[in-house]
Amino acid sequence: MNQMADAVRLWNKADTILLRGALLVDPAANINEKQDVFIRNGKIEGLAPEIKRDADLVVDLSGMICAPGFSDMHVHFREPGGEDAETIYSGSLAAARGGFTRVACMPNTTPALESRGLIEFIISQAKAAGYCRVYPVAAATKDRSGEQITELRELQEAGAIAVSDDGSPVSDALVMRRLLEYAKTWDILVITHAEELSLSSGGLMNEGFWSTKLGLRGIPAASESIAVARDL
């Protein structure tokens, strides 16, 4: 991790960077070949099989793959409240080390991400860490209890990219209907935890041959499909 941190610091100080000899893979641009990459002030300025230019930082990537940064729409950084498991700093550093430059962190923290202050806290901590972009997903209902809708517009203005009760379904159909109606007003993305608890409660694995063979209570597929059908 220290090597990664040192590399990021060098990268941030360099105005020009030359990446040499990597296999460049970019499906959107239909590129899958060895290319040098020249970067100036954080933007790609040139791609070619061999670039002969001076740069503040030259990185030999022979035998490695160079690709656009990956995105992860579902991470748990546990801060605030669970810093013993993960922090925004450690989580974003690990993301960058794995090639992820954008992540969306879920709201099941303690307390849940349900206020402007907490959303702004996540964003400021991520900027201070500086390893990847962290996009907070706010709680859809207060304390993720599925009972009272949070201040959706305020959370969006604070920087939340979506709302969810991640880990807990909104079991009350009327609450979910109101949530979707209010979210539509401001074009807010709702990420649903699709689970019918009356079917899944106590389940340990997917219901089927192996759950029966192992003597473990299974979770039927209908638990998810019923919830998805209701929300649709």
d(C-alpha 122, C-alpha 80), whole Å: 9
pLDDT per position as a tens digit, 122-137: 999 999 998 999 999 9
Work out the pLDDT band at 227, boundaries 50, 70, 90: very high
Contact 192, 164 (CB under 8 A): yes
Q: Which token pair is 124? A: 């400021």
Spell out the domains of the chain, with CATH numbers in brackets: 2-66 (2.30.40.10), 70-193 (3.20.20.140), 195-232 (no CATH)
Work out the pLDDT band at 4, boundaries 50, 70, 90: low
Contact 153, 129 (CB under 8 A): no
Residue 205's H or E segment, with its range, is strand 205-206
pLDDT per position as a tens digit, 148-170: 999 999 999 999 999 999 999 99
Is residue 30 predicted with pLDDT exceeding 80? yes
pLDDT per position as a tens digit, 71-92: 999 999 999 999 999 999 999 9
Q: Which token pair is 225? A: 């499909």
d(C-alpha 116, C-alpha 19), whole Å: 40
